[in-house]
Structure 1
């Protein structure tokens, strides 16, 4: 489901649709403020929240993966979007499916112990009992059930904070100024041009450490140059995946945008396979979509893997060191 166009432009006064919905946006923001004022469970180990202010994908999963590479003894706690299991349960990639635990936890579990729990406090307790030295809370910045020792807000530099309004008038879960005041650091993800626009549009509100990063394809020996592909993606912003593929030299003969976390049914996969065969193209998807594929179908699909590269981690490294 694509967001409405009127959510996205921060450079003009809100249009008619946004103005009509703005009272509801004020009410939504006020409800968020009341909710986050509550006191949550305080874990015995540091808790770092990787969250956002926007609905939809901003790059939290790549940011979580990057943090896992920088800290030791960390375990991940996630709500497990779309998963059927209430938990808390430790995700086992060999036993669990995305339908049970969600695609992002299934991906993260390949790198660190990962817990799915609809009740995040119960998930934090499970991680503590399992020996976690630090908990990375995947999302949950607006959820007060667990006390956060450090909160990192992740934002897509290209989209920024949209029109700056709360749902349903805009894409925000809470006002920018209020959210940033509760956070400890901000990470904007995008190319230099997007970073420059983000700074121009939102820099006046940023008074906390601001990290800048970009997603780059992981070198895996695959030569994409001239490769005819049918690319499909069910992530927050599929067009970014398609642009990355093109930047690697792939020829996208068909691009299929799916809803974020959309189940990959047998019917859908058979259709994609038939289209790819008819076009003489190779099926390609994202790492997050790949974990939702049935095991029997995975050999038919190539995966473009990206990783987050951050210009300067020092401010966040210093903040994390202070949690010890």
Structure 2
């Protein structure tokens, strides 16, 4: 979905008009979050958001996977498979599945780590464990009570924060903020800015950790793009961040194409992008997640589509490492 502009405006009439519905939604979400979950049989680490829309969950998930591997663990990612038609539980196969089957993020991640897609997370956890998972990394699902989470990492953008701070549909929050903060073990603040400072202070006050991190674009790709004129397009939570990353890397972004998060590109849209690129002699550049969603449609572009890979770098990885080891060891000590 495309985020309404009034989600960023606290005194918008549209937001104020929707406040009664936000109260009802918040009460339902709060009641659901407080339900009891079940043990998965292995440690469960959840990477989530307080709000709807993207803030960097996928890069955070992949960074956790790599850190867990260095700690000797065998992580498997568990996803609901947003945007995919398959309910699962099923292990994603990048050779045979499409984004329409399993969702763009699971498909993209499956080239780097085993990913299980399941609408019912309990069933997904069982399959992940059968596939040899020593640790399950949940991509989203912070507000879902089905599984007991042993460590919850919440991702927030330092520049965008939580918008107007109201609950859906008056704002982007998925549940009452106080309740979500109480269940936060660590807040991952990505990028530069101060929009998340107040939230970080509240997390610290209730005993949670605050981890600063930044998205690092692939240096070789940026070097290859310098000197070219680029048409950049993206259907992610914050396309502007992608365009800014390119420009900050010295890339000449001539034309931007911003689409809604998880946007399903039509044949006409793909052909229009190709036509503009050909007419203006531009190089097409998108995100890895968007390329996964384009799939076979890239063959109709008549031109190569480059992607800009990004990775998440933690300012204090040692603190995260200790946090992971502490929770994993505590879970295993009980079994």
Q: TM-score range by the shorter chain?
A: over 0.9
2:196 — aligned with what?
A: 198
The answer on whether the counterparts of 2:2 and 2:261 sit within 8 Å (CA) in structure 1 is: no
Distance in 1 (CA, whole Å) between partners of 2:12 and 2:200 is 23
Could you say what secondary structure the match of 1:172 adopts? Answer: coil
Within 5 A, what are the aligned runs for 1:308-323? 308-322=312-326, 323=328
| 1:209 corresponding residue in structure 2 | 209
Do 2:36 and 2:146's aligned partners in 1 also have CA atoms closer than 8 Å? yes
Q: 1:41 aligns with which of 35, 38, 41?
A: 38
Distance 2:203 2:225 in 1: 39
* Superposed CA offset, 1:191-244 (max 9, x none): 2xx1x3421x43442221000111121123543223101111011110110111
Q: What TM-score, normalized to structure 2?
A: 0.90
Unpaired runs of at least 5, structure 1: none
Any runs of at least 4 consecutive aligned residues in structure 1 with deviations exceeding 6 A, and if so which?
A: none
The question of whether the paired residues in 2 share the 8 Å contact of 1:57 and 1:236 is answered with yes
Aligned residue in 1 for 2:64: 67
Does 2:110 match 1:113? Answer: no
User: Which residue is equivalent to 2:3?
Assistant: 3
* 1:121-144 alpha-carbon deviations (Å, 9 max, x no partner): 110010011111000011001111
Question: Distance between the aligned counterparts of 2:262 and 2:202, measured in 1?
Answer: 32
SS at match of 1:186: strand
What stretches of structure 2 of length at least 5 have no aligned partner? 330-335
**Contact residue 227 and residue 249 of structure 1 kept, 8 A:** no
Q: How many Å separate the matches in 2 of 1:49 and 1:197?
A: 23
Question: Does the 8 Å contact 2:153/2:188 carry over to 1?
Answer: yes
Q: Is the 8 A contact 1:68 1:111 kept in 2?
A: no
Q: Equivalent residue for 1:234?
A: 235
- Give the root-mean-square deviation of aligned CA atoms: 1.6
Alpha-carbon separation, structure 2, partners of 1:37 and 1:162: 25
Q: How do 1:292-311 and structure 2 match up within 5 A?
A: 292-295=293-296, 297=298, 300-311=304-315
- Please state how far the C-alpha of 1:156 moved relative to its aligned partner: 1.2
Distance 1:22 1:205 in 2: 24
Q: State the distance in 2 between where 1:282 and 1:235 align.
A: 20
Give the deviation of 1:36 after TM superposition: 1.1
- 8 Å CA contact retained: 1:156, 1:189: yes
What is the alpha-carbon distance in structure 2 between the residues aligned to residue 29 and residue 155 of structure 1?
20
Q: Is the CA contact 1:157–1:188 (under 8 Å) kept in the aligned structure 2?
A: yes
Q: Could you tell me how far 1:158 is from its partner in structure 2?
A: 1.1
- Alignment of 1:16 with 2:28, yes or no, is no
Deviation per CA, 1:283-320: give whole Å up to 9, x if none. Answer: 11001111122347266101111111110123322221
- Of the structure 1 ranges 130-139 and 248-257, higher mean CA displacement relative to structure 2 is found in 248-257
String of CA shifts for 1:29-65, please: whole Å, max 9, x gaps: 1111110111122111000010111101111001001
Aligned length: 317
Q: Which has the higher helix share?
A: 2
Q: Answer yes or no: is 1:179 the counterpart of 2:176.
A: no
TM-score, normalised to structure 1, is: 0.93
2:233 and 2:258 in contact (8 A); partners too: yes
> What secondary structure is seen at the aligned counterpart in 1 of 2:225?
coil
